Each structure stands twice: as C-alpha cells, then as structure tokens.
Structure 1
Amino acid sequence: MVVGEYYFDLIFRGLPAIPKIGADLWAKEFEWVPGAAFSTALALTRLGTHAGWWCAFGNDVFSRMIIDEARREGIDEGLFIHRQKPWRRISSAFSFAHDRGFISYKEDQDPSPTPADLERIRPRILLLQGFSLDAERTALIAAARELGIKVCSDCQHIEMDLSAPGMVETLRQIDVFLPNETEAKALTGEQDVEAALKSLARHCPTVVIKCGADGAFASDKGRLYHAPALAVEVFDTTGAGDSFNAGFVYGLLHEPDFASALDVAVICGSLAVTGYGGRNLPFHSDLNQYRRHSAAI
C-alpha cells in the first residue's frame, strides 16, 4: 500500500544556468510527466507487484491527466479518493545532470488513511511517501504494527533533526527508513554518509540511504551494506528516489535476502534517471540483466 500524493511535473532541461530573479531562461527540452508517488505505484506495477495507491484527485485537468496515465499503465485504482473540486499538485522542475530543483504548489493536504482503513485493506507493506510526527501519522504507524504490517517511510526534506520531540520514538516504530544522503546528514548532523547511517541505525532496525551516483548504503539488523549505482547516462534525476523505494519494497516481498532487495532498489533508481521523470522503469522481466550483488561493509 503506497500512501502519497501525485504531482504533475513540468520538467525543463538544457537550461544555460540555474534560474534566478531577473533572468529569462530558455530550455532546450521540455516534458510533462506524472510524478511523486505515481512513480512508486508505476514501478511496483511494472515489477508485477499488486500495489494499492492511496491518493486524492480532484476534478481539475491535472488530476484527470494523472488518472488517465494511471489507467494506461494499469495502476490499481482501488484506493483512489475522488473530490468534486480542484485538487492540484504541480511541480516545475529545472533539471541538470548532477541534480534538480523544484518550484511546487499543492492545493490541499491528502486525507490520511485511518487505522480502520488499514484493518480493511491489510497490506503486507505500508510505504509512506514522507515522514511526519503528526498524530494521524503516528496512529497509522501504531495500527500497522498492531496488525503485523511492515512500515517503510521515506523522509522528503523534513526540517527537523534527531533532537526534535518525538523523532526518535517515531523512528523506533518504523521498520524501514529511506532518506537520501542530504536528508540523512541533516537529520543526524553528520558529514559522512556512513556515520549518518550508523547514527540512524541506532533507532531504526533497517535504514537505507539513497546516494545518487554512489548507489545506496544500508544497515539491516546491525549489518552494513553498499550497492553501487549502475553505470548509466543521467538524463533526468526527477523521480529516482520514488522509483528506488518501489524497487526496495518489491525486493522485501520477493527477493531471497536483504542484499538482493537492495540490488533491485538500486536497479530501479539507476534506470529511472535515464529518461524523463522516472519513466524508464524496468519490468520484472528486465531485472536479471542488471542484477549484481550488494556487498557488506
């Protein structure tokens, strides 16, 4: 069960410089793609995993276009929430080979699933797009644990560190924490990714840090791993983290061990950057040609 918003991504490539006030810039390339949790739901669908996507949509043109794309890709609509009003989520991305930036807008906060929803749906894994300490989120995590549902949570640029009230307690309730390198360092105050990994692993049984071109570093039950990224030509990094998360969840469900699950995550994250907005995602039949073995460190 994927819990997360959609975004309608407008992606500008080939800019001569990073945007700034007073400058008119012309992109050499442009595309729009469904983004955010759409990428996660799409990756899981292509990998052959039955995934419900808990997401709200409105009657606006952006919502309708995202729903049309979801239907075209065969994404399960069973958990879609339909609102008879605009429910716009838009991001304008300026994409460079090394990184990207966003200007974003969202109309309203998606309604959270309740403990009763979890009891009705009974997923094996609950994948949360972002991290939150609000009462609804902590109640949802507690309910998942009561039901024996594994909880995986992304981070998504929260403005807190480990000293924030309730932060450590919430991390201890999560089974898998999936920040990127920047987020992990900001949370822990560490300058080195391995130090950040060890710091977070003191509070969460499984931590996976996404490191872009350096692949991923992970800690699972006290053992450390590193999976290098595939050697690919980077086209657009938008959606890579969401695609990585999907690959890791697939791996938890279907792979024989943790190292293999981490490999699939890195395959999905690496292939995502070879096209616009994470759309060059693998199908299940593609995985074997890219498989390697993560190494313990």
Structure 2
Amino acid sequence: MRLDVICMGNLNYDITFILERFPEFHEKVNAKEVYTGLGGSAGNTATWLSLLGLKVGFIGSVGNDDFGRLHLEFFKKIGVDTRGIKVVDEPTGVAVMMVIGEDKRIVKYPGANRFKEVREDYLKLARHLHLSSNPLSLVEKAVTLAKNLGLTVSFDPGEMEVPKNIEEKVDILMMNEDEFKRKYGDLKNITKVKSRIAIATLNGGGALVRDQNGKVYEVRGLSAKAVDTTGGGDSFNAGFIYGFLNGWDVVSSAKLGMLLAYLTVQKVGARSAVIPLEEVKKKANELNLDLPFNSS
C-alpha cells in the first residue's frame, strides 16, 4: 500500500489535569477536570492527517500492554498503517500534564518509545516523512534515508537541538515561538534558518513562515481562549503538511494549520477536536479563511 505520509515519534498515554493552581511542596490539590487519552506529538499529527483523507503510516514503538493495544486499535480504526510500530516488553510511554490555561507542566516516562526503528523498506512506501522529537541518532538516520529515497521531510524538534547537517536537509522545520527563540534568538532570524521552509508558530495563534525563496509571511487571524494547549502545535503541523503535499502556497498551508490549532486548544486533550475533512472545510468557510480545498 502506497502512503502519502509516514509520521515518526513517540506514542504516549496522556493524563491531563486541569487545575486552578499548582500544588505546593507536599500538597495535594483537586483538579477541576481530568482527561485521559492517547497522545504523542507525531501520533497527534498522524491522527489529523488521516482524518483529512491522506494515507498515513507510523514509525514508533509501544508496550505489550493495555495502553499499547489502545494505540494500535485506534490507528487501525482511523486508517493509519501500523506496520512500522514495534511491540516490545516495556511499558508504553506515559505523559502526565498539569494545565492552567497556557501554563503547562509535564512529566513523561518514555518506556517503549526508546525502541522504535527506522526501516528503509517502510520509508519507501511514502512520499513524505514527518518527524517529532526523537533521539538525535535516529533523526539523522531517518532524514538521511528519506532524502536518499526522494521523500520530502518535515521536522518538529520540540526541545531538541537541530544540528546544521539536519537543518540543511529538512524541507520544513517547524517549532513554536518559545522553542525558536531558545534555538535561534529573535524571530527575525527565521531568514537565517537553513531548511527549505521555516516556521515558528506564534503565541496566541498564527505563525511566522519563511518560504523557499526567503520571503517571510506573518499569518494571523484566529485567536482562541486556550483551555488546553496540548497538541496545538501538532495540529498546526498536520494542517501545514496537508497543504504542502497538495501543492498549496505557504500562506494557505499555514492558515489551515492555524485553523486546526485553533480548534484543538479549545478542548482538553490533544485529539479531542479532531474532525473529518468535510467538517474542516465547513469551519474554514464559517471563518472566511478562503482555503484552496477544491484544488487539492
């Protein structure tokens, strides 16, 4: 089966507490709400891409436990190919989040995620590879293999450093504003990033995008009161990748990413807001985003 996109990254079971305040030392507080569900940055992006109608595969690793089975069952239900996911005798990754508006504290246990593997025969099935945060050696191997096979590559490194040899090979380098500033300083330095396209998603909604010709665009227009920002960047990534693979310009692609992020942060949980393509089109029309879906 041919694939449009393979996503590679962690698969976690998320536990999200919505709080009025964070606990002090040795203090217990009650959460206002709790959300439990499937997460992991690349997994969230893969979920949106599949619901948008693309053929999606995944490279990852889960434990031989209930959480691991939930991941595999969910992906199969929404049509994500799971042949690149290993099942190992380690606990599936877990992430615990404490959230107050846009303030978020996270504790993670990687578990089975440490055992994912990149296979050339699997990468050959796709035309695009999307990477989230992974061990550097694995990122280097995946990017090199993908480029040798003729795939385009997007990379959301999160807190990872991005070596110049990776930066130069990547077609789309995407990160949030805070991560960008930690790595590159001022946002105006987006013109110096060596990837073909560079993106910094902006606090409060929207994005700064530098295209392959060096032109910089600021895309704004949707701003939501954030209930939970978990998965907002992953949703943006899915929207931009969808536009990119359908030949849209960078502004239209970023607008779709902004829309998906806008929907995501208004609900608790990274995947709670995921809706099919036809509903996304309706939302875009309601918000007058003028996206070129008919040309896709």
Please report the TM-score for the alignment, with normalisation by the length of structure 2.
0.86
Measured in 1, the distance between the counterparts of 2:15 and 2:241 equals 27
Measured in 2, the distance between the counterparts of 1:55 and 1:248 equals 22
Corresponding residue SS for 1:214: coil
Cα-to-partner distance string for 1:224-278 (whole Å, 9 max, x where unaligned): 1122152333221111111111111111112532211111111111111111223
Q: What's the counterpart of residue 84 of structure 2? A: 79
Instruction: Structure 2 unaligned segments of length 5 or more: list them.
Output: 1-5, 292-296
Corresponding residue SS for 1:260: helix
Q: Say yes or no: does 1:106 pair with 2:119.
A: no
Between stretches 264-273 and 276-285, larger displacement belongs to: 276-285
Query: Is contact 1:54–1:80 with CA below 8 Å preserved after alignment?
Result: yes
Cα distance change of structure 1 residues 116 and 71 upon mapping to structure 2, 3 Å threshold: closer
The one-letter code of the counterpart of 1:38 is: G
Pairwise CA distance, 1:100? 1.4
Measured in 2, the distance between the counterparts of 1:211 and 1:238 equals 15
Q: What's the counterpart of residue 259 of structure 1? A: 251
Cα distance change of structure 1 residues 144 and 72 upon mapping to structure 2, 3 Å threshold: closer
Cα distance change of structure 1 residues 56 and 98 upon mapping to structure 2, 3 Å threshold: same
Q: What is the identity percentage for the equivalent residue pairs of Structure 1 and Structure 2?
A: 24
Corresponding residue SS for 2:192: helix
The one-letter code of the counterpart of 2:17 is: F
Q: Say yes or no: does 1:217 pair with 2:208.
A: yes
Cα-to-partner distance string for 1:204-233 (whole Å, 9 max, x where unaligned): 120011123131111012011122152333
Cα distance change of structure 1 residues 115 and 76 upon mapping to structure 2, 3 Å threshold: closer
Q: What's the counterpart of residue 176 of structure 1? A: 172
Cα distance change of structure 1 residues 240 and 79 upon mapping to structure 2, 3 Å threshold: same
Aligned length: 278
Q: What's the counterpart of residue 282 of structure 1? A: 275
The one-letter code of the counterpart of 2:289 is: R
Corresponding residue SS for 2:279: helix
Cα distance change of structure 1 residues 181 and 104 upon mapping to structure 2, 3 Å threshold: same
Cα distance change of structure 1 residues 139 and 70 upon mapping to structure 2, 3 Å threshold: closer
Cα distance change of structure 1 residues 196 and 18 upon mapping to structure 2, 3 Å threshold: farther
Q: What's the counterpart of residue 247 of structure 1? A: 239
Query: Is contact 1:172–1:204 with CA below 8 Å preserved after alignment?
Result: yes
Query: Is contact 1:33–1:276 with CA below 8 Å preserved after alignment?
Result: no
Cα distance change of structure 1 residues 143 and 70 upon mapping to structure 2, 3 Å threshold: closer
Q: Say yes or no: does 1:204 pair with 2:204.
A: no
Pairwise CA distance, 1:176? 0.7
Q: Say yes or no: does 1:118 pair with 2:123.
A: yes
Measured in 2, the distance between the counterparts of 1:94 and 1:11 equals 6
Query: RMSD of aligned C-alpha atoms?
Result: 2.1
Measured in 2, the distance between the counterparts of 1:209 and 1:229 equals 16
Corresponding residue SS for 1:156: coil
Pairwise CA distance, 1:105? 0.8
Q: What's the counterpart of residue 294 of structure 2? A: none
Q: Say yes or no: does 1:12 pair with 2:17.
A: yes
